[in-house]
């Protein structure tokens, strides 16, 4: 009965629910989004080109800035690629430490997701709960390497520091404290009537779409596809640990919606606690780093190594020409595919639903603007 016209709206790059400097250009008819076009690059730092200008060892601190919420995972993934290229065997103790710190960082990252996902949809309290527990993880990191955000803890061949004597006791105390808190989160947000209404059946990604867009990590598993590099391509001894790979099952809404992507991350924190307990119990004694020459020159060749980070696969492809610097380095991250699918999933959604969709993808812009 009424004539309407499309309105073009800029959502971001300074918008609290874009999780960084992401700009979404929306074409809307009223509250309905007819088209979404993501614009990235506001945070571009040329990390891949920098890698070709510094030595293999000097590039390690730059990987911290790739995903500042999961810097440990990025450190270790880069080290794994260089080790594969050079044929370096990581000592068993260093492998165990990498697993422990990777899973602690997964918990810390998912806690930020839990808090900000609720905040995007109007719930302020979950953020306070999440940062309360995250502070305990950061204290464990600070106790070990002195840093709380960008750790520079990984080393080619192992890790930079051994854990202090009190680390194991305090980590187990954290695990004992943290597991009941997850039940608290569920009572606070997971089953909250408003939260479920805002996320269930919203931003549904089918298994076919997830495969077509090469989604990884919780975004892939939220669509019901059980693929986790820790299980399917185990590294650093993950095959020794008993844990489950949570997938979306449609408890609320349908499989592949925003709620299922949220729920997979909540379940993953419980599984990370299981892995940490086992890794501490099985942690061998010995060296924490292999012998690597100070003038490090891997042989001519190429290697690709990928690890399961909080946002999915983080992969490093390195080409060596036999010098101290990589001839070429390429990084693959989970956030890029998460942004790529937003135009398809966001079409036909309401503006408020688009906020829930972006929040459920758990993207972080430094991973995209490399």
Give tens-digit pLDDT for 146-175. 999 999 999 999 999 999 999 999 999 999
Beta bridge partners, 24, equal 11, 38
User: Where would I find the H helices in 121-166?
Assistant: 125-145
> How many Å apart are CA 142 and CA 135, to the nearest integer?
10
**What tokens were used for 172?**
């187990």
- The answer on pLDDT for 2 being more than 80 is no
Q: Helix 92-120 crosses helix 167-185 at what angle (to 10 degrees)?
A: 30
Quick: pLDDT tens for 89-141. Answer: 999 999 999 999 999 999 999 999 999 999 999 899 999 999 999 999 999 99
Q: For a pLDDT cut of 90, what percent of the chain falls above it?
A: 88
Average pLDDT value for the chain: 94
Among 16-20, 236-240, 286-290, the least confident range: 16-20
Q: pLDDT at position 30, please?
A: 86
Contact 355, 121 (CB under 8 A): yes
Task: Enumerate residues 6+ apart whose C-beta is below 8 A from 174.
Answer: 136, 137, 140
Reduce the DSSP state of residue 277 to 3 states and report it. Answer: helix
- The answer on pLDDT for 85 being more than 70 is yes
Nearest to 74 by CA among 369, 309, 335: 309
3-state secondary structure 305-324: EEEEECCEEEEEEEEECCCC
- Global pTM? 0.95
- Chain centre distance of CA 291: 30
Domain ranges of the chain: 7-45+90-290+346-368
Nearest to 317 by CA among 22, 48, 59, 76: 48
Measured between its terminal Cα atoms, the distance across the chain in Å is: 48
Q: pLDDT at position 230, please?
A: 96
Fold of 7-45+90-290+346-368: Cytochrome-c3 Hydrogenase; chain B (1.10.645)
Alpha carbon separation from 274 to 2, 71, 77, 81, 344 (Å, rounded)? 58, 21, 22, 27, 36
Q: pLDDT at position 213, please?
A: 94
**What tokens were used for 265?**
């991350």
- The H or E element that residue 24 is part of is strand 23-29
- The answer on pLDDT for 265 being more than 90 is yes
| Residue 348: how many other CB atoms lie within 10 Å | 10
- The answer on pLDDT for 65 being more than 70 is yes
- The answer on pLDDT for 1 being more than 70 is no
Task: Enumerate residues 6+ apart whose C-beta is below 8 A from 28.
Answer: 6, 7, 8, 9, 34, 351
Cβ burial of 296 (10 Å; 0-12, 13-18, 19+) is middle
Among 2-6, 287-291, 356-360, the least confident range: 2-6
Q: pLDDT at position 18, please?
A: 81
Reduce the DSSP state of residue 29 to 3 states and report it. Answer: strand
Alpha carbon separation from 243 to 171, 264, 274, 336 (Å, rounded)? 18, 14, 7, 27
Residue predicted with more confidence, 13 or 258: 258
**What tokens were used for 151?**
């750790």
**What tokens were used for 14?**
């300074």
Q: For a pLDDT cut of 70, what percent of the chain falls above it?
A: 99
Name the E strands within 73-203.
Answer: 154-155, 158-159
Reported confidence tier of residue 79, pLDDT bands at 50, 70, 90: very high
Reported confidence tier of residue 370, pLDDT bands at 50, 70, 90: confident
């Amino acid at each position: 009965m009424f004539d309407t016209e499309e309105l073009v709206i800029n959502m971001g790059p300074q918008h609290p629910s874009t999780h960084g400097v992401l700009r979404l250009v929306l074409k809307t008819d009223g509250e309905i989004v007819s088209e979404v076009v993501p614009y990235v690059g506001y945070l571009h730092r040329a990390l891949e080109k920098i890698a070709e200008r510094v030595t293999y060892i000097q590039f390690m601190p730059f990987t911290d800035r790739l995903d500042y919420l999961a810097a440990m995972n990025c450190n270790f993934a880069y080290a794994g690629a260089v080790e594969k290229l050079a044929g370096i065997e990581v000592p068993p103790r260093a492998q165990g430490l990498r697993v422990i710190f990777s899973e602690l960082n997964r918990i810390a990252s998912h806690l930020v997701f839990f808090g900000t996902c609720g905040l995007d949809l109007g719930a302020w309290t979950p953020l306070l709960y999440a940062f309360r527990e995250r502070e305990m993880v950061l204290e464990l990191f600070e106790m070990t390497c002195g840093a709380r955000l960008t750790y520079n803890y990984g080393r080619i061949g192992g890790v930079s520091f051994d854990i202090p004597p009190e680390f194991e006791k305090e980590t187990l105390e954290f695990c004992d404290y943290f597991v009941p808190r997850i039940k608290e989160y569920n009572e606070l947000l997971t089953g909250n009537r408003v939260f479920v209404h805002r996320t269930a059946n919203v931003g549904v990604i089918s298994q076919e779409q997830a495969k077509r867009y090469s989604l990884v990590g919780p975004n892939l598993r939220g669509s019901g596809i059980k693929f986790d590099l820790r299980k399917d391509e185990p590294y650093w001894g993950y095959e020794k640990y008993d844990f489950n790979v949570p997938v979306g099952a449609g408890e609320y809404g349908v499989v592949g919606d925003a709620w299922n992507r949220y729920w997979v991350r909540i379940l993953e924190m419980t599984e990370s606690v299981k892995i940490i307990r086992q890794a501490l119990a099985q942690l061998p004694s010995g060296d924490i780093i292999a012998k690597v020459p100070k003038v490090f020159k891997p042989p001519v060749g190429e290697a690709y190594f990928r690890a399961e980070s909080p946002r999915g696969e983080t992969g490093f492809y390195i080409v060596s020409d036999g010098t101290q610097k990589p001839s070429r380095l390429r990084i693959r991250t989970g956030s890029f595919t998460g942004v790529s699918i937003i135009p398809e999933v966001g079409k036909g959604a309401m503006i408020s639903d688009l906020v829930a969709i972006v929040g459920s993808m758990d993207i972080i812009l430094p991973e995209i603007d490399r």
